[in-house]
Chains A and B, each alone.
Chain A
Amino acid sequence: MVYLDNNATTAVAPEVLEAMLPWLQGAYHNPSSMYEAAKIPARALDIARGEVAAVLGGVDPREVLFTSCGTESNNAALRGAARANPGRRHLVTTAVEHPAILEVCKAMAREGFELDVLPVDRHGQLDMADLVRALRPGQTLLVTAMHANNETGVIFPIDEIARLVKETDPAILVHTDATQTAGKLPLDLVDHLRNVDLLSFSGHKLHAPKGVGVLFQRKGARVAPYLIGGHQERGLRAGTENVAGVVALGRACALAREHAVDEVRVQALRDHLEREILARTPYALVNGAGAPRLPNTTSFAFHYIEGESILFELDRQGICASSGSACTSGSLEPSHVLRAMSVPRTAAHGSVRLSLSRYTTEADIDHAIAVLPDAVARIRRISPYWDTARGGPRVGAPE
């Protein structure tokens, strides 16, 4: 099986599994307990916290809170900010956020917050003029923009966004969902991301298991605790610690730093894949190709066919991929990301996302190159908009 869906989740690294197992076997003590045996897991939490602080550019470990997942981190950031700043009732976000942000923002809007959703252009990029026009000094609570998009890999200039926000009004909080970038791009919260107050990510996107996430919360940022009911995480996130998960995440962060150089190889594989697929497939494009992107992500849009049937065909031939097509999302529209980018209507339903990891091999990519163009061609034979003899759209098909 060729796994090319690493933006959905990743395999647990063998080193990570090895690091976490002892905490599921013998060393089960509650780190909050008083006896000597409990000091061992407490110490393990400290070490893991240090690893995460290091991957965030060497922040104070006390600024790292462990949560259960990226979605919890996002909810905690937005809800906690609102609770701590009741006088501010305006939010700014972007049209392409993950639902773990967008739906929280919409829920808050239903509860009375005012919400500005920044549009993106056809490359998936923001216009900073839209951002500054949306800001309301003295009223805006928080600006949240993802670091990189899960579907297209397009990277937002979070440093620039944060600078403009802080120059406008230092009391406006800046949050970024770094779920797709942690472990893939440098996250330096001491230097280029110094204006970011809150940052979320999730363990299972960087080869740790599911069930553990991080909220970076800068010292002094006005954010109230989201989960209350315990003194854990210095009272900022109650709940008995997921020791094994946290240790795993610490190990995964250390591995990500060791493997940072692998991203170059991953990008070379991704670029090779894109070139070959585009060369072998007419009427295909890469979503977000005109913007800075994550090294591991490619989102193809194939004109005149529907993405779900492509995925089904890929699955049958041993390739795991995903799609922003309507039929895979349980809704009836192509993904909000592709719509926000105004992907041509003849291709908006025909998207396929392939996302690599450091475990992806050349053979995996060769298999994808061998299979995907054929799958597209076979499904196009079924399409009423495609003329197989001509190798192009049927006469009269929408352009």
Chain B
Amino acid sequence: MAWNYSDKTKQLFLDAVQGRPGSHLGEVENPDGLGEHGSIACGDALRFTFRVRRHSTDPLQDVIVEARYLTFGCTSAIAASEALCMLIEQGGVSPVAALRITNDDIVRFLEGLPDQKIHCSVMGAEALAAAVFDWARKRGVDPSLLGVDIQPEEAEEGRLVCTCFNLTEPYLLRKIRELGLRTIPELTAATKAGGACMSCHHAPGGLQDLLDQVWGSQATAEPAAPPAPPAPEGLSPFQFMKRVEQVLDSYVRPMLRADGGDLELVDIKERVVYVRLAGACSTCIGATQTLKLLVERSLKEQVDERARVIAL
């Protein structure tokens, strides 16, 4: 897939990669706020830190003077992190005011993002919220009094809905409302939920149910996937298998072991027996064919005339 990034996105990425002065790559030492979002398994992660100029009496009037990021992710994830820091520093805002920066603001600042990259901007907003929560805790500000709905990610423990990306029901419900997500593809683009194994799409309590819970079932319905095909059945006749094992154990294996080799019984289908040489014999050229004949003759004589051997 070719890159459809805006010039702005490309430029911010290059500034970061080249370590151009003025980029916000890095980490604030002893930060006033630290927030992380994502994980290495999910394919992107952001560590966001900021420093404030403290107001002498009222923490709510602290102003963010320095914002830094470290990002594991694609071009747009890195550019979105840079954008977030620029938006905050340019604004000269308090941590609480910074929360009004949404993922839409980041997308606008980047002059657009491809649909599949929207989650990169959501990641920025999430890490910011976590960092502000951290600041509130350190400054003794009661987050519930801020008039903004913020919570640390660990507070959103709840039923796991998307196990691939570790996303919980409270988190997804909040994102569905905040971002006005109406369909599973929108939800996936914004949060990654259901973007991997997809088993949570229509499972009970899954993504569709969460969307229905927020918007009602009419608004978001899409056709369900067809039922999975029935599981295959495959039985080998038990007695045949037992007799084959007896012959291999009592007759064939002792012979092979005398030469430092061994034999693995891999499968039996009807009267076909699959075996694999192990040990010293497995590296001997010609042994495979010899073994096939030896085992086949033994089985034909001692178990069933129709027995056939295939050597792996």
- Which residues of A approach B to under 8 Å, CB–CB? 90, 109-110, 112-116, 128-129, 132-133, 135-137, 164, 167-168, 304-306, 308-309, 312-313, 316, 325-334, 345-346, 349, 375, 378-379, 381-385, 397-398
Closest to B292 in A: A167
The distance in angstroms between the C-alpha atoms of A136 and B270, with both chains bound, is 10
Closest to B264 in A: A129
Instruction: For the complex formed, measure the closest distance between the CB of B227 and the CB atoms of chain A, giving whole angstroms.
Output: 10
B146: CB under 8 A from chain A?
Answer: no
- Checking B39, B47, B78, B192 against A309 with a beta-carbon cut-off of 8 angstroms, the contacting residue is B78
The distance in angstroms between the C-alpha atoms of A112 and B166, with both chains bound, is 33
B274, A109: Cβ atoms closer than 8 Å = no
A133, B270: Cβ atoms closer than 8 Å = no
B203: CB under 8 A from chain A?
Answer: no
Q: Which residues of B contact A164 (CB under 8 A)?
A: 310, 312
A306, B1: Cβ atoms closer than 8 Å = no
Instruction: For the complex formed, measure the closest distance between the CB of A204 and the CB atoms of chain B, giving whole angstroms.
Output: 18
Instruction: For the complex formed, measure the closest distance between the CB of A14 and the CB atoms of chain B, giving whole angstroms.
Output: 27
Q: A330-B1, A332-B192 in contact; A306/B77 too (CB < 8 A)? A: yes
The distance in angstroms between the C-alpha atoms of A308 and B266, with both chains bound, is 42
A382, B71: Cβ atoms closer than 8 Å = yes
- Please name the 3 residue pairs, one residue from A and one from B, whose CB atoms are nearest each other, closest first: A332-B195, A327-B74, A384-B70
Closest to A315 in B: B3
Interface residues of B in 41-65 (CB under 8 A from A): 41, 43-47
Q: A312-B13, A378-B17, A398-B40 in contact; A129/B74 too (CB < 8 A)? A: no
Q: Which residues of A contact B10 (CB under 8 A)?
A: 312
Contacts A112-B229, A309-B78 aside, 11 further interface pairs with beta carbons under 8 A come to A129-B266, A309-B13, A326-B43, A327-B77, A328-B1, A330-B116, A331-B195, A332-B192, A334-B43, A383-B72, A385-B40
Chain B residues with a Cβ closer than 8 Å to the other chain, count: 51
Interface residues of B in 19-41 (CB under 8 A from A): 19, 25, 36, 39-41
- Checking A112, A306, A384 against B74 with a beta-carbon cut-off of 8 angstroms, the contacting residue is A306
Q: A109-B229, A306-B73 in contact; A312/B43 too (CB < 8 A)? A: no
Q: Which residues of A contact B117 (CB under 8 A)?
A: 327
Closest to B226 in A: A110
- Which residues of B approach A to under 8 Å, CB–CB? 1, 3, 10, 13-14, 16-19, 25, 36, 39-41, 43-47, 70-78, 116-117, 119, 164-165, 188, 192, 195-196, 226, 229, 232, 234, 264, 266-267, 269-270, 272, 274, 276, 310, 312
Closest to B192 in A: A332
Closest to A378 in B: B17
Instruction: For the complex formed, measure the closest distance between the CB of B277 and the CB atoms of chain A, giving whole angstroms.
Output: 12
The distance in angstroms between the C-alpha atoms of A137 and B234, with both chains bound, is 11
The distance in angstroms between the C-alpha atoms of A312 and B276, with both chains bound, is 47
Closest to A116 in B: B232
The distance in angstroms between the C-alpha atoms of A113 and B230, with both chains bound, is 10
B267, A316: Cβ atoms closer than 8 Å = no
A312, B75: Cβ atoms closer than 8 Å = yes
Closest to A397 in B: B40
Instruction: For the complex formed, measure the closest distance between the CB of B79 and the CB atoms of chain A, giving whole angstroms.
Output: 10
Instruction: For the complex formed, measure the closest distance between the CB of B273 and the CB atoms of chain A, giving whole angstroms.
Output: 10
B229, A133: Cβ atoms closer than 8 Å = no
- Checking A328, A346, A384 against B71 with a beta-carbon cut-off of 8 angstroms, the contacting residue is A384
Q: Looking at chain B's contact residues, is the secondary structure mostly helix, strand, loop, or mixed?
A: mixed
Closest to B46 in A: A384
The distance in angstroms between the C-alpha atoms of A133 and B266, with both chains bound, is 8
B229, A333: Cβ atoms closer than 8 Å = no
- Checking B19, B75, B165 against A308 with a beta-carbon cut-off of 8 angstroms, the contacting residue is B75
A-B contact pairs, 13 of them (CB 8 A): A90-B232, A113-B229, A133-B266, A135-B269, A164-B310, A306-B72, A306-B77, A308-B75, A312-B3, A312-B10, A316-B14, A326-B43, A327-B117
Instruction: For the complex formed, measure the closest distance between the CB of A317 and the CB atoms of chain B, giving whole angstroms.
Output: 11
- Checking B18, B70, B76, B195 against A333 with a beta-carbon cut-off of 8 angstroms, the contacting residue is B195
B78, A382: Cβ atoms closer than 8 Å = yes
The distance in angstroms between the C-alpha atoms of A243 and B76, with both chains bound, is 44
Q: Which residues of B contact A397 (CB under 8 A)?
A: 40
A309, B73: Cβ atoms closer than 8 Å = yes
A332, B40: Cβ atoms closer than 8 Å = no
Q: A132-B274, A327-B73 in contact; A332/B267 too (CB < 8 A)? A: no
The distance in angstroms between the C-alpha atoms of A128 and B275, with both chains bound, is 11
Closest to A326 in B: B43
B3, A306: Cβ atoms closer than 8 Å = no
A132, B47: Cβ atoms closer than 8 Å = no
The distance in angstroms between the C-alpha atoms of A308 and B10, with both chains bound, is 13
Q: Which residues of B contact A326 (CB under 8 A)?
A: 43
The distance in angstroms between the C-alpha atoms of A61 and B35, with both chains bound, is 66
Closest to B117 in A: A327
The distance in angstroms between the C-alpha atoms of A93 and B39, with both chains bound, is 32
Q: Which residues of A contact B36 (CB under 8 A)?
A: 384
Q: Which residues of A contact B267 (CB under 8 A)?
A: 129, 132-133
Q: Which residues of A contact B310 (CB under 8 A)?
A: 132, 164, 167-168
The distance in angstroms between the C-alpha atoms of A382 and B192, with both chains bound, is 22
Closest to A349 in B: B43
Q: Which residues of A contact B232 (CB under 8 A)?
A: 90, 114, 116, 136
The distance in angstroms between the C-alpha atoms of A325 and B310, with both chains bound, is 40
Q: A330-B1, A378-B17 in contact; A132/B229 too (CB < 8 A)? A: no
Instruction: For the complex formed, measure the closest distance between the CB of A254 and the CB atoms of chain B, giving whole angstroms.
Output: 33
The distance in angstroms between the C-alpha atoms of A133 and B74, with both chains bound, is 41
The distance in angstroms between the C-alpha atoms of A101 and B18, with both chains bound, is 41
Q: Which residues of B contact A331 (CB under 8 A)?
A: 195
Q: A164-B312, A312-B13, A382-B17 in contact; A332/B75 too (CB < 8 A)? A: no
Q: Which residues of B contact A332 (CB under 8 A)?
A: 43, 116, 119, 165, 188, 192, 195-196
